[in-house]
A and B are shown apart, each in its own frame.
Chain A
């Protein structure tokens, strides 16, 4: 079956540091890949997505590239801010399912300190 593995947290960074949160997946075919973010007290929000190999999703300074050869979708940001403190979830869905039938990773809590 499908599965998503993301790095364990929590991750604590200083403001303006470089962020990488690793995510690898197991799935058949070409799933769609997502990063969701959950700010304190709020619901999960779609941060970015990619639907085919070599696609790069980007939003709010965050980027992730769909790497079929390494089955990875690592999240990166060049300079984090305190406001980026949140829990980040990597997820996948089967081809054509959009964001239905989501399989999530365990989430990685990021804390950014001034």
Chain B
């Protein structure tokens, strides 16, 4: 149980385009979802926390207008990288949690490459 999927697993796009990444909890209802970014040879860095039906809370230094997060249902959150640039190329990982629990379940990640 407690499986989280991400789609796509990898994506290549041109500079200036927008890319949407989906994060789904497959067998449980996720009241909270987290989005992380990992640059090569760096730590996972928390970008934002989203609660179902509410606006996401972004970490300091993360542009909320560039990284749009939507958590419209208890099983789906999306991260849209708007007007992507090469410096946005990274590994994006989501995780999901259930209300009242303190455990996170992680997705397999999405590799974004912006040309």
Contacts and interface: CB of A to CB of B under 8 A. Distances in A.
B104 A41 contact: no
B contact residues, range: 10 to 19
A106 B106 contact: no
A47 interface: no
Contacts of B41: 106
A43 B4 CA distance: 8
Interface in B76-115: 93, 95, 97, 101-109
B19 to A, nearest CB: 20
Q: Main SS of the interface on chain B?
A: loop
A40 B17 CA distance: 29
B43 interface: yes
Given A43-B4, A100-B104, A103-B43, 10 more contacts: A41-B108, A43-B107, A44-B93, A44-B106, A99-B103, A99-B104, A102-B104, A104-B44, A106-B42, A106-B43
22 contacts: A4-B43, A38-B106, A41-B9, A41-B108, A43-B4, A43-B93, A43-B105, A43-B106, A43-B108, A43-B109, A44-B106, A98-B102, A99-B103, A100-B97, A100-B102, A100-B104, A102-B44, A102-B46, A102-B104, A103-B43, A105-B43, A106-B43
